[in-house]
Amino acid sequence: MERKDSCFPGLLSLGITYDDADSLRLLSMRLRRWAERECNGEISRRDDGKVETYNTYSGECVGLARDMETPAIARVSAIVAKYPGLAWFHQTDPRGAAVYVYRVADLAGRDIDACYSGVGKAAY
């Protein structure tokens, strides 16, 4: 089992403070859980932006849920914006980390998919 702080060396190597790295880790876990719930059919975003919650056994809508994704994305964006030259990628596949931070210059013109080849540092 990996330690909870095993993502810290990568994030710190980008110049991110420990406190911000810890916040990114927690926000990544929140976004990952959100993606799991979407994937499992527990929640769904309507066209008007509201989030509905579903009974996963019957598929029946049981009401509205609090939107935890939008504020988490805004917070990650605000943290990363404090560091010139850094950007982030939101991975919506729940099988891995949800937040990858990278130096824009490290992409060297490549597509953002290069984050998975070691350019991006995962927060998990």
111 against 120, higher pLDDT? 120
DSSP H or E stretch at residue 107: helix 104-107
Over residues 35-61, mean pLDDT: 94
Neighbours of 47 (CB within 10 A): 5
pLDDT of residue 1: 36
pTM over 0.95: no
Instruction: Choose the weakest-confidence range: 59-63, 70-74, 96-100, 105-109.
Output: 105-109
Q: Which residue has the higher pLDDT, 117 or 47?
A: 47
Share of the chain above pLDDT 70, in %: 92
Rounded Cα distance between 87 and 5, Å, is 21
- What angle is formed at CA 1 by the lines to CA 19 and CA 86, rounded to 5 degrees? 35
